Each structure stands twice: as structure tokens, then as C-alpha cells.
Amino acid sequence: MKGAAIATTLTLGASTVLAGPSIKARADATPITVKGNAFFKGNERFYMRGVDYQPGGSSQLSDPIADIDGCKRDIENFKSLGLNTIRVYSVDNSKNHDECMNALADAGIYLVLDVNTPKYSLNRASPKGSYNDVYLQYIFATVDAFANYKNTLAFFSGNEVINDGPSSKAAPYVKAVTRDLRQYIRSRKYREIPVGYSAADIDTNRLQMAQFMNCGTDDERSDFFAFNDYSWCDPSSFTTSGWDQKVKNFTGYGLPLFLSEYGCNTNKRQFQEVGSLYNKDMTGVYSGGLVYEYSEEPSKYGLVEINGGKVKTLPDFDALKSAFEKTSNPQGDGGYNKTGGANPCPAKDSPNWDVDTDALPAIPDGAKKYMTDGAGKGDGFGGKGSMSGGGSVSTGTAQPGSGSATGGSSGSSGSSSSSAGVMNLPNVSLAPVVVGMVTVLSTLMGAGLILV
Ligand SMILES: *[C@@H]1O[C@H](CO)[C@@H](O)[C@H](O)[C@H]1NC(C)=O
Ligand SMILES: *[C@@H]1O[C@H](CO)[C@@H](O)[C@H](O)[C@H]1NC(C)=O
């Protein structure tokens, strides 16, 4: 491949940066945290107003956060729309992202990042073989490349891996990857960046998947859940679209929830759903969402058209901008659930939910060392990929609690799940357990004083 030589050079550059004292990330952006079933920016509730951003899609894969000119060009449009979040589906973890990430931070924009690429991801048809150490090394290296940016809002551990009943068999692997990413973040002593899954738009097992990702010990649970939803097709309403049922179904769910893709394009888009999404009808359960998608691609969901490096806004851009302008966030905390917490695992219900056991596969032996030693350099888009296997795969079932931080400060290993029985401790602080407990208490009391 003709990109190989370039990739190697950039890889060396990236490892130099990693070996240095720190990435030159902006220090003054406020990181987003999780409390109960909501996101917070400091003491203020944070609702995602975002778009999905991957010009070229997966067929003409390029890393938009490594494209400095494109990034700066598009930030002007993000600001014009009033966005605070973008989602990117794939990045090249061998490249440097400082300039775009800092420009985004300057604009008040956060990144939700999928850690996977077409070559490095779980294969729903062979989850066991594709859950291997080569894969984990790649996605851990992606975490390394983005963890020091304060405007990295969250990582997606997977996107639409399960897209029907039979593929729900892959759910324990999706959950294992989520566990491993969270363990990696804690073990490497990064900020507690939320990790969760983005589910496909399917009614038959959406709720089970959400429950599955939030059951079990704290080390095995997610920090949030998201799903793609194209069911609101203008002209429509909260009840006609069935979104009222999606609020009802998820009321009492203990994690932050948001739409990772929305924006049905069957009819002319008016983005009427924006008026409901940021209304108290929904904000007790949902934290906003991400419109699919920024750039016009063959599927015709674009807000803008990008041609020869030039960008032109389309009618949908104006429609979304005016919908956002008309819609402010609710007063106060939007009625979020301060408690949050785990739920029971869903029962097997084949063919829709074909998961036999709540137990998860253990991390492949060959990947354990990354927790203590770090992942090392990422091979980027030019890498060989991990789907054909060749690495070490999982050979057994994980003990609950096995995903607690390893290689952290003395005494913290293994104890965080047992000490966090009532709350999702890892959501709140990356600090060692003793300090973490104090932080939890003061965070809760602080939140109580301000928000009640
Ligand atoms: C709500 O949950 C029920 C039971 O799981 C399910 O049958 C229904 O399709 C769900 N509705 C929506 C809109 O997700
Ligand atoms: C808040 O979340 C907890 C934990 O998931 C749940 O038990 C409770 O019913 C929720 N409360 C409301 C009002 O939804």
C-alpha cells in the first residue's frame, strides 16, 4: 500500500509524543463526568448537541481529526449549528491529533470516539476469534492517543455489532471489550473517561442489550448506553413517533442514555424531534443525541456537501440550525435520576435475545500485559488488522471483578468493585480507592447542595 511509508513515519512521531512528559493538550477544557443517569460539565447538566462526523464514510476511510485544514473548516459550521459534541467512527491511532482536538476545545466541542476501525473490530459472525490481543492492543493505543485531551467526552466500545436476534450471541464479547477498555483507562491512571456501546436501531432486543450492559459487577458494567434511532420521521410528534414509549421503557435505567444517531430522512427533514429531545418529556431519561450526519455521503443524510476541500451547506443544515436555535435546554437539572446503578441481567429470550449466560469471556492472556505496561504504538489505518485472528484469544470465563484496575497504586487492585456495591465508583473518580471514596461523597454532597 502506498500509504505504508507515511504511516511508519507518523507512527514514530506518535511514539515520541507518547514518550514525552505529556501530550500538548489544552488544560482548560472542563471534562464531562457521569452522575446518576446524566452527564455533567462541572455542576451543570450536559446534553449532547452533536453530529456524526466521518467525511468519506467507511468506504473512503480518512481520519477527520488528523486533517487539520478540514477540521478547522468544519468547526466553523459546528459553531454555526451550536454544537457541543461530534462523534467520529474511526481514527488513525498512529497520527497526531493535537491541533484539531485543541481547536475543538477552543470551540467548546467534545469528542465521542469509536475506538474501532474497519480492520480492527469485533466480528459479529466470529466474536471469539476477533476478540484477541492484537485487537485489544489497537483499541488501547487509541485510548492512549485521546485520553489526555480533556474534551474527549467518551469512547464507544462498539457500534451496531448486534443487528438482529442471532447476533445477540456476540453480546458477552461486546461487554468484555467495554470492561477491558474501562480497566485499561483505570490501570493506566487516565481520567475516568466514560465507555459505552452504541446499539443498532432494532426494537426486538434494544432494551435487553441496554440491561445487559448495565448488569453484574461494577467492573463489568458500562458508563453509559446509546442507540441509533430513525423512528421519528417528520412530520411527527412525541407520541406519533413512539418516542414517548422509548422514554417509558427506559425510565429507571441507571446509566446516561443518548441517541448516537438520529434524523430520519424519509421525508423533508425539519428536525422536529429536537424540540422533544431537549424537553423535560425526555431529559429525565435522555441526555441529547447526535444527528446523522455532517457530510453528504451516498446514503444522503448530509447537512453539508464537501467537494475538493470546499464545504457547502445543504437545506438540512439550515433546518437543524433553526431547530437548535428554537430549543433551549430545560431549567435546572432536567429531572435526571441521581441514584443510577445496576439492573438485573435480562433473561434469555431466543430468538431475539440469544444469550445463555451472564458470564463474560476473560481477557485474552496475551493482552493482560497492556494493563501494566501500556499498549505501545498503534499501527493506524495502515496496520494489518486483527479480524483474521492470529493473536491470543480468550480461553475461559472471567471472574466477576476481574476487570478492576490492575497495575494501579498499591492496594487498589481488585477492591474497587467490592467497595462500590451501591454506586458505579469508577464513573466518578480515577483516584485510588480511598481518595475515590472521599471524592464520591463530596461529589454527591456537592451535587446535592447545588441541584436539590
Ligand atoms: C418497549 O419494551 C417492550 C418490551 O421489551 C418492547 O416490546 C417494545 O418494542 C419497546 N418499545 C419501544 C418503542 O422500544
Ligand atoms: C432511579 O434509578 C434507580 C436505579 O436504576 C431506579 O431503581 C429508580 O427507580 C430510578 N428512579 C426513577 C424515578 O426513575
DSSP conformation class of 51: E
pLDDT of residue 389: 64
- Alpha-carbon radius of gyration of the chain: 21
Q: Could you tell me which of 24, 19, 11, 5 has the C-alpha nearest to residue 377?
A: 11
Mean pLDDT (whole number) for 52-73: 96
Q: Distance from the CA of 208 to the center of ligand 1, in angstroms?
A: 10
Mean pLDDT (whole number) for 196-203: 96
> Which listed ligand is nearest to 243 at the C-alpha?
1
pLDDT of residue 313: 98
* Chain mean pLDDT for the chain: 87
Question: Which positions are annotated as active-site residues?
Answer: 160, 261
DSSP conformation class of 30: P
Q: Which atom of ligand 1 is nearest to the CA of 248?
A: 1
Amino acid, single-letter form, for residue 42: G
Sign of CA dihedral 295, 209, 389, 157: positive
Residue with cell 477492591: 415
Q: Distance from the CA of 167 to the center of ligand 1, in angstroms?
A: 19
Q: Which atom of ligand 1 is nearest to the CA of 208?
A: 5
Q: Give pLDDT tens digits for 3-37.
A: 333 333 333 333 333 433 345 667 779 999 999 99
Judged against a pLDDT cut of 70, whether residue 440 lies above it is answered with no
pLDDT of residue 426: 33
Domains of the chain plus CATH, in order, are 32-382 (3.20.20.80)
Cβ 416 vs Cβ 401: under 8 Å: no
